[in-house]
Each structure stands twice: as structure tokens, then as C-alpha cells.
Amino acid sequence: MRLGVSLSSTHRKDGPRLMIERARAAHAAGFTSLSIGDHHNMSVPYAQNTPMLGRLLAEWPDRPAGCLFLVPLWHPVLMAEQIGTLAAIHRSRFIVQTGIGHGADQFSAFGADLATRGRVLEASIRAVKAMLAGEVVDSEPLGLVGGRVGLLPPEPVEWWIGGGVDVAIERAAAMGDAWYAGPGIDPERGAAMVETHRAAGGRRAVLRKDALVMADGDEARRRATELVEAGYRGLSLDILLVGDPDDVAEQLQPYEAAGFDEVIVRCMTVPQDIALETLALLGPLGEG
């Protein structure tokens, strides 16, 4: 199974430096893709996606890379311009990951409407795709007139459409190159969701997972248990990738059997030395 890496953008101190070190370590470990997330109006330090990824690409010169966009929070011209520039910088395939977004704090800060986010997501993806193809775009639902992008990607970008309900999975099949599944999915549920995606004409299914991997598997489980008991992302221990490399290789197998083509892993909230150990041990488990 192919393994990519998603870097956490939230760190109490020196976040950009830590992310650069992790990108460098992930590249050395053989991960096949690099991505970072997208959140806004945060009360904690958070490195924003497009400037941060521009820096990280210096550590990731020759493999696919990209970032998440919470599409309803972005003006489509600005989103298309950011993608065009990043894709022009990069020398490998560029991946656009999309999310529908949630949380009143994020939406109200942008004057965006939670109730219409599904319609806005679909209209924006269509508009951004067209602009990245060199078209001048009008979109009445988006209030967009004459939208265009000056710096175009040197090759078509890839679209991973996120979501965890049937309508989102079917949207991914219709509008994307892959369905991007969230970290809370177990193998049984995942298999049913992959089947929904395939039945709708989908081609690829990609899963994100949080991980803590150490040479001492018992210590990895102890640390992960402490984080889960403190409420880590609302996830249970059995849904995470935790233990030594052999443990995690075994935990990945049911997801491959469920039909996922690739797993994107993110280090749990651990000190930098443990994160670097996780990356060094986890990367070789993937098939490059």
C-alpha cells in the first residue's frame, strides 16, 4: 500500500521549523506524497496552507504534493491563483484536497453560510477547474464574473474530494480523481464506503490516518493511550495506527483489503523526536 504524509500545522512553538524538519524526514523515509491541511480563524498557532506549502516544496522536489482547501471559505479566483502558483513551483504532480468545512467560528469569520456550503463547494470546484484549464469563468451562484488565472499549472492538477457521507462520496466519484476519507473510519465501514464510491464510478480511494510508531511498541501504545484518554481528536485507540512497525503493518492490511489505494498518515501530537521516529519507521512500510 502506498503511504503519503500529512503534516500537522498546529504547534505551540516553532511550528514552521518543525514542519520543515518533518517534511525532510518524510522524504528521506520514502513517503510517496506530502500534504498539509487548512483551517482559519484559529485561537492557537496555525501555519496557513499555501505559504507553508511553498516553503515545504523545497524539501519535497520530486514527488506528488498538495494541500487541503476548505472550499466554501475561499474565493474561487484566489483559490485558483494559489493552486496555479504552487503547481508551477512544483516539479511533480500537484494534488488539491477539498473539504466542505465546518464550525460556525470559521464560517462566520468569512461571512460564509454553513447551510449552502455543499452547493458552494460544487460550484467552486467547477469554476476553479475551468480557470486552471485557462478558461475565463462566469458563475452566477458564486457572483463570479470574468474569473481567470494568469499563471497556469504546467500539467493538470489532481483532485481529491473529501467527505464521509454518501452524497460526498458520490460527489468525489463524479468530480474528483479520488475520494479522500477521514481518519475516523474503521475497515468494515471503510469497505462499505469504498463500495459506494466504486458503484458511483469512482476510481481511487485514499484514507487519512493518525499514527504513533516507535521501535518500542509498548511505549508507543502508552503514549497514544494517554492522548486518547485526554480526548485526542475524538478518536479511539483502535482506529489509530499505533505500535512498532510490525504492529502497524498488520493494522494497515484490513484497510488495503477494504479497497483503499493509499493511506495518508499524520503524526499524533508528540514531541518532535517521537514524530521523527514515527516517520522514519513508518515510511518504509509503504510501496513507493
For 103-165, the three-class secondary structure string (H helix, E strand, C coil) is: CHHHHHHCCCCHHHHHHHHHHHHHHHHHHHCCCCEEECCCCEEEECCCCCCCCCCEEEEECCC
Average pLDDT over residues 159-187: 96
Amino acid letter, 264: I
Q: What does the pLDDT average to over 183-207? A: 97
CATH of the domain at 89: 3.20.20.30
- 177-215 per-residue burial string, b: 16 or more CB within 10 A, e: under 16: bbbbbebbbebeebbebbebbbeeebebbbbbbbbbbbe
Contact 167, 118 (CB under 8 A): yes
Contact 11, 22 (CB under 8 A): no
pLDDT-based confidence at residue 288 (cuts at 50, 70, 90): low
Distance between CA atoms of 173 and 185, rounded to whole angstroms? 18
Residue 247 has pLDDT above 90, yes or no: yes
Integer Cα distance of 279 and 76 in angstroms: 34
**Domain tally, the chain:** 1
Contacts for 253 with CB less than 8 Å, ≥ 6 apart = none
Handedness of CA 49, 51, 54, 60 (dihedral sign): negative
Residues 6+ apart with CB under 8 A from 137: 76, 127, 130, 131, 144, 146, 147, 148
Mean pLDDT confidence for 156-175: 96
Tens digit of each residue's pLDDT (9 = 90 or more) over 13-47: 999 999 999 999 999 999 999 999 999 999 999 99
Distance CA 265, CA 211 (A): 6
Q: What is the pLDDT of residue 148?
A: 98
Q: Are strands 178-181 and 241-243 parallel, antiparallel or unpaired?
A: unpaired
| Half-sphere exposure at residue 138, Cβ-oriented, CA atoms within 13 angstroms | 2
Q: Which of 36, 37, 4 is nearest to 20 (CA)?
A: 36
User: Mean pLDDT for the chain?
Assistant: 96
Whether residue 188 is predicted with pLDDT greater than 80 in this model: the reply is yes
At 113-148, the pLDDT tens digits run: 999 999 999 999 999 999 999 999 999 999 999 999
Above 80 in pLDDT, residue 257? yes
As a whole number, mean pLDDT of residues 202-221 equals: 98
* CA 285 – CA 262 distance, rounded (Å): 12
Threshold 0.85, pTM exceeds: yes
Residue 215 has pLDDT above 90, yes or no: yes
Which domain range does residue 145 map to? 2-285
Task: Convert the pLDDT of each residue in 47-81 to its tens digit.
Answer: 999 999 999 999 999 999 999 999 999 999 999 99
Q: Is the pLDDT of residue 287 over 90?
A: no
Q: Which three cell numbers stand for residue 104?
A: 460556525
| pLDDT on residue 204 | 97
Is the pLDDT reported for residue 246 higher than 70? yes
Sign of the C-alpha dihedral, residues 193, 267, 102, 73?
negative
Among candidate residues 79, 88, 82, 153, the one with its CA nearest the CA of residue 123:
79
Query: How long a stretch of residues is the chain?
Result: 288
